[in-house]
């Protein structure tokens, strides 16, 4: 009897592995041809507390990436939210910066639980050099050590600091764009809402790469074969649970925590939203773009067939990634009124 049960368990495991491998092969076949590589053939491990701890330790020991030639970066500590520690920011300036320049607040991704502004040196510096703007990268506190609203309030402190110090920074406070990817895109979207309601600063534009907007996605049982690459459903559950300080609930979430839950999007800054069709966030991003447009907010929505989460970072030299990045840069030029 015991051996029979063992054989049954073994057969179930084999069948399960076969189903997973078949599904994985089907997902791989749906990838954009330029994004198929040995790297994505392997199933990326979901985030867990242990994985996040290892990533944090590796991040702490990693050297900051090199900057492009000619871009200067300054590390600053600015006043944090009331009762909270100071916030570290990095200020990037290109050569020959014009007076009263436009600016970008760049908010890094990492599922709310990992990542750093320092690791985004190349991206922030590239914005400064290619667009001729001042870029501020914010080192917001991470969950679960600091759950909502701490990370968002750190970003708000950076935004209001940019506006207060506009003259010293050489920027036009009326031309500040909020830029973020993944969780950073979620924070940028929430920051646009928070800034609108508090009325101290009016960002000119929001650029959201595959933003993490809706905690209810973590409650879904199926995802239409999305989320097989890079950012998986289990990672999404961990990210939202860490950020909210409790598991997501279908009926409610704290105001500004999940931008997709906001009832009216009227009056928010114009936006660009880009995402791949195989990204777990594709449905929530598509719906948010639709609602922005419905509520009278100009929004350019770019959906890339067969692209996975953060594909332009993992395959930057592919034509599809270059086209995607060019679309974002052109949107920034228009949003910040750059010649």
Q: Answer for the pair 159, 193: CB distance below 8 angstroms, yes or no.
A: no
Q: Which of 214, 279, 285, 318 is catalytic?
A: 279
Helix (H) or strand (E) run with residue 325 in it: helix 319-335
Q: Answer for the pair 128, 336: CB distance below 8 angstroms, yes or no.
A: no
Q: Which of 124, 182, 235, 242 is catalytic?
A: 182
Strand partners, 271: 206, 299
Tell me the C-alpha distance between 81 and 28, whole Å: 44
Strand partners, 181: 209
Helix axes of 121-131 and 319-335: crossing angle, nearest 10 degrees: 60
Enter the DSSP assignment of 279: S
Q: Which two tokens stand for residue 123?
A: 């991206």
Count of alpha carbons within 13 angstroms of residue 326, beta-carbon side: 7
How many C-beta atoms lie closer than 10 Å to residue 254's C-beta?
14
Length of the chain in residues, anyone? Answer: 339
Active site residue 279: yes
User: Is the backbone of residue 225 left (phi > 0), alpha (psi -120 to 50) or beta?
Assistant: left
Alpha-carbon distances of 294 from 16, 101, 186, 311, rounded to whole Å:
44, 32, 20, 28
Q: Which two tokens stand for residue 140?
A: 């917001």
- List the catalytic residues: 182, 279, 309
């Amino acid at each position: 009897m015991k051996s029979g049960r063992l054989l049954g368990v073994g057969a179930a495991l084999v069948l399960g592995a076969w189903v997973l491998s078949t599904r994985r092969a089907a997902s791989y076949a749906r990838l954009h041809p330029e994004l198929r590589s040995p790297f994505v053939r392997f199933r990326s491990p979901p985030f867990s507390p242990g994985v996040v701890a290892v990533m944090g330790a590796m991040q702490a020991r990693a050297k900051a990436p090199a900057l492009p030639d000619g871009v200067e970066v300054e590390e600053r500590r600015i006043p944090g939210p009331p009762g909270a520690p100071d916030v570290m920011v990095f200020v990037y300036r290109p050569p020959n910066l014009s007076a009263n320049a436009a600016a970008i607040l760049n908010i890094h991704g990492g599922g709310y639980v990992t990542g750093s502004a320092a690791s985004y040196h190349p991206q922030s510096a590239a914005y400064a050099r290619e667009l001729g703007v001042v870029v501020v990268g914010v080192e917001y506190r991470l969950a679960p050590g600091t759950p909502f609203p701490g990370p968002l309030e750190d970003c708000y402190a950076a935004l209001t600091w940019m506006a207060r110090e506009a003259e010293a920074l050489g920027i036009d406070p009326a031309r500040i764009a909020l830029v973020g990817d993944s969780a950073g895109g979620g924070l940028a979207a929430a920051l646009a809402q928070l800034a609108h309601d508090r009325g101290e600063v009016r960002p000119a534009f929001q650029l959201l790469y595959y933003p993490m907007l809706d905690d209810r996605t973590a409650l879904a049982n199926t995802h239409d074969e999305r989320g097989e690459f890079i950012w998986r459903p289990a990672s999404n559950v961990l990210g939202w649970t860490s950020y909210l300080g409790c598991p997501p609930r279908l009926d409610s979430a704290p105001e500004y925590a999940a931008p997709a839950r906001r009832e009216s999007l009227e009056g928010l800054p114009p936006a660009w939203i880009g995402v791949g069709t195989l990204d777990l966030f594709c449905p929530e991003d598509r719906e948010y773009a639709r609602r922005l447009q419905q509520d009278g907010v100009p929004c350019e929505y770019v959906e890339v067939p067969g692209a996975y989460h953060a594909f332009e970072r993992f395959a930057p030299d592919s034509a599809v990634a270059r086209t995607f990045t060019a679309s974002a840069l052109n949107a920034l030029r228009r949003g910040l009124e750059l010649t």
